[in-house]
Structure 1
Amino acid sequence: MALFGFFSKEKKESLDKGLEKSKDSFFSKMGKAIAGKSTVDDEVLDELEGILATSDVGVDTIIKIIDRIEARVARDKYLSTSELDKILREEIAGLLAENDDNSATARANDFYVPEQHKPYVILVVGVNGVGKTTTIGKLAYQFKKQGKSVLLGAADTFRAAAVDQIKLWGERVGVPVVSHGMNTDPASVAFDAAKQGQESKVDVVIIDTAGRLHNKVNLMNELTKIKRVVQKFIPEAPHEVLLVLDGSTGQNAFLQAKEFTRATEVTALAITKLDGTAKGGVVIGISDQFNIPVKYIGVGEKMDDLQVFNKMEFVDSLFGK
């Protein structure tokens, strides 16, 4: 039985399927670790610590989780190994709930756009290969499903085929794309996207950016320039800077998050490709460690497989039998 019931049946099934590799890997290792054991003791906790590490939960978060389970063992005196998945689920959910400073849980099925901003401008950043442009296309699709009008800006002008890729997504979803072609000035694309978005009174403008971590100074300068030209039309924009991370890279996703958050002001995270990896625990670590909300997760190839991240449903799918 699920701990929390906010998701639709279809979305919960999609989440369960997307996390299948991570879940199967975890329970396979856990089954071997507790074979022959009847209670949760120091040896079991040591094994659990190692298993969480191989799931890329992250050292600092693992320490918190083990401390919580140790406290519970001390309090309850006796905990059987057959209860371990339930205990783990409850303690991780409790840990993440303590860090929950937004109302995303209450809007678990909703790709929400604040009504006071029109257009609502999202600047999307991330290194090449993380699924950045695909995430933009899926976001556009979800916003359109919500009845919102969407405009895309193809400002990743230096990567081969990036402009063509976002144009294809525009055609697929049925939303307009502002593009100047390859090797053009990204800021000029952003300028025209903001101008057209405001003049057309669209609800959401999503601007793709160059996916290169060439160095922090250049990255910061490029993004600062894009922000400056967008603000000529929409002074408070961008309203959101969304960093896309590849969940299948595990600890590399942590490192990319650190690099980008040092270089620019990131306000939200999207973690992709969770269906192709056994490293789904990285979402727990990132959600716990960064003072930036994980807003979206990608759990499959279909357009509906980009989901608003709900911490409790995620933990329930990953650790619930």
Structure 2
Amino acid sequence: MEFVILAVVIAALVVAGLVSGLVVSGRKKKQLPPAPSSTPTLTPPAEPHVGEEAETPREEPRRTIEEVGPPDAQAPVAEAPAVAEPEAPAVPALEIPEPTAGRLVRLRARLARSQSTLGKGLLTLLSRDNLDEDTWEEIEDTLLTADVGVAPTQELVERLRERVRVLGTRTPEGLRTLLREELLALLGTDFDRAVKTESGVDTPGVVMVVGVNGTGKTTTTGKLARVLVADGRSVVLGAADTFRAAAADQLQTWGERVGARTVRGPEGGDPASIAFDAVKEGIAEGADVVLIDTAGRLHTKTGLMDELGKVKRVVEKHGPLDEILLVLDATTGQNGLVQARVFAEVVDITGIVLTKLDGTAKGGIVIAVQRELGVPVKLVGLGEGPDDLAPFEPEAFVDALIGD
């Protein structure tokens, strides 16, 4: 019996030990947090998600206007910071153009540099000991190369041959004098080369400037305004070139420099209407001269040329046109004569302006275009400066050609 009781007790102890082992074993498998390290690791806090920190809206009692009441009259009112007024744009000082008298003489050196080929070439050939047929052919070639034209060249050569044969002039000074006289005879010294700016009635003188694209027509109009202002005339400009976007702005800039007002219209507007308004404004202001810049017509487009005729007719409703100046690029040579013929058929050209004469050795175009149209060259452009437009003086021109 005692043995049985002892066996039961031992069995109970064994069972209790096993249960305790299982409990301890289960606790050992549980993951414990790691021990704190000597160097703490900083982990950035997680960014809050949308709506996490949003506060639930609360109902608040609303107040009426009577309950709110007016603001305290004694409460100081913050003054608004003072706003600095924008400065008015500075009025540009008016420029004083150079006087026109003697301009071509002052620009003679610039002209001589580009034209020396013609004058010096002729003098060299004429100074040869033996003026045979080959030499006279070279003289002809020199004149043709300078765009003097076929008929004027033949005329000049014949006169030179006759005078050299009769007079026997062979000294350098004698040949220079002879050549000067013959060139002046071709240029013509009896032309009236003054730009007509007086109408003879109670209206301003009206000058219309025409020409093809690229000849410097708008620039010439602006420079002509300076010439007239330098001579004491008041000027109104008409920007009737509405086909080129920058033409009106360019002309207005020229006018502002010398105090001349510019009448302009919308881009693509009716050129005849703007020309009409320009003359009307000139009459109202009592101006001395109205300069009208027309679009650079392509002489191959009949419609545009017809429109140029319309501008002329509309302007003449105020009074006669006193001057129609054709602007030609001297560097185009004989092609300029083609342009001149077409323009002469549409409007009555009264004078010629040759631009870029300082940039070409083809000064003979002066003779050729005068012979073609029967009208004089009145102005020449000899540079890009604002006062590089000069009245044409035949004597100064020939002296620049043949040198001292």
Q: Shorter-chain-normalised TM-score: which range?
A: 0.7 to 0.9
Task: Provide the residue aligned with 2:179 in structure 1.
Answer: 88
Q: TM-score, normalised by structure 2?
A: 0.69
Query: Match of 1:4?
Result: none
Confirm or deny: 8 A CA contact 1:39 1:81 kept in the other structure. Answer: no
Structure 1 residues 163-172 or 132-141, which shifts more? Answer: 163-172
Structure with the higher helix share, 1 or 2: 1
1:86, CA displacement in angstroms? 3.3
Q: Distance in 2 between matches of 1:31 and 1:101?
A: 27
Residue 42 of structure 1 and its aligned partner are, at CA, apart by 2.9
Q: Partners of 2:292 and 2:169 in 1: how far apart?
A: 54
Q: What residue identity is the alignment partner of 1:277?
A: T
Query: Which has the higher mean CA deviation after the structures are superposed, 138-147 or 169-178?
Result: 169-178
Alignment pair present for 1:12 and 2:96: no
Alpha-carbon distance in structure 2 between the residues aligned to 1:8 and 1:146: 9
Distance 1:79 1:44 in 2: 14
**Gap change, CA 1:281 and 1:16, over 3 Å in 2:** farther
- Structure 1 residue 203, shift from structure 2 partner: 0.4
Q: Which moved more, 1:127-136 or 1:302-311?
A: 302-311
Measured after TM superposition, the shift of residue 293 of structure 1 is 1.5
Measured after TM superposition, the shift of residue 149 of structure 1 is 0.5
Structure 2 equivalent of residue 200 of structure 1: 285
SS in structure 2 at match of 1:315: helix
Alpha-carbon offset, residue 218 of structure 1: 2.0
Task: Say whether the 8 Å CA contact 1:127–1:213 is kept in structure 2.
Answer: yes
Q: What is the DSSP-based 3-state SS (H/G/I as helix, E as strand, rest coil) of the residue aligned with 1:304?
A: coil
Change (3 A) 1:222 1:69: same
Match of residue 116 from structure 1: 200
Q: Show the counterpart of 2:328.
A: 245
Matches within 5 A, 1:176-195: 176-195=261-280
Once the two structures are TM-superposed, the CA of residue 39 in structure 1 deviates from its matched residue by 4.4
1:300 aligns with 2:383: yes
Identity of aligned residues (%): 44
Aligned residue among 300, 311, 316 for 2:394: 311
1:61-99: CA deviations, max 9, x gaps? Answer: 11111111011023114535674443222211123337x
Asked if structure 2 preserves the Cα contact closer than 8 Å seen for 1:131 and 1:246, the reply is yes
Moved more, 213-222 or 291-300: 213-222
**Structure 2 residues without counterparts, runs of 5 or longer:** 1-99
- Per-residue CA deviations over 1:250-291 (Å, capped at 9, x if unaligned) read 111222111211232211111111111111121122233421
Displaced runs of 4 or more, over 6 A: none
Equivalences, count: 304
Structure 1 residue runs without a partner (length 5+) = 1-6
Q: How far, CA to CA, are the matches of 2:271 and 2:197 in structure 1?
A: 25
Which residue matches 1:142? Answer: 227
> Could you tell me whether the CA contact under 8 Å between 1:89 and 1:320 is conserved in 2?
no
CA contact (8 A) 2:238 2:293 kept: yes
**Using CA pairs below 8 Å that are at least 6 residues apart, which structure has the higher relative contact order?**
1
**1:199, CA displacement in angstroms?**
1.0
TM-score by length of 1: 0.86
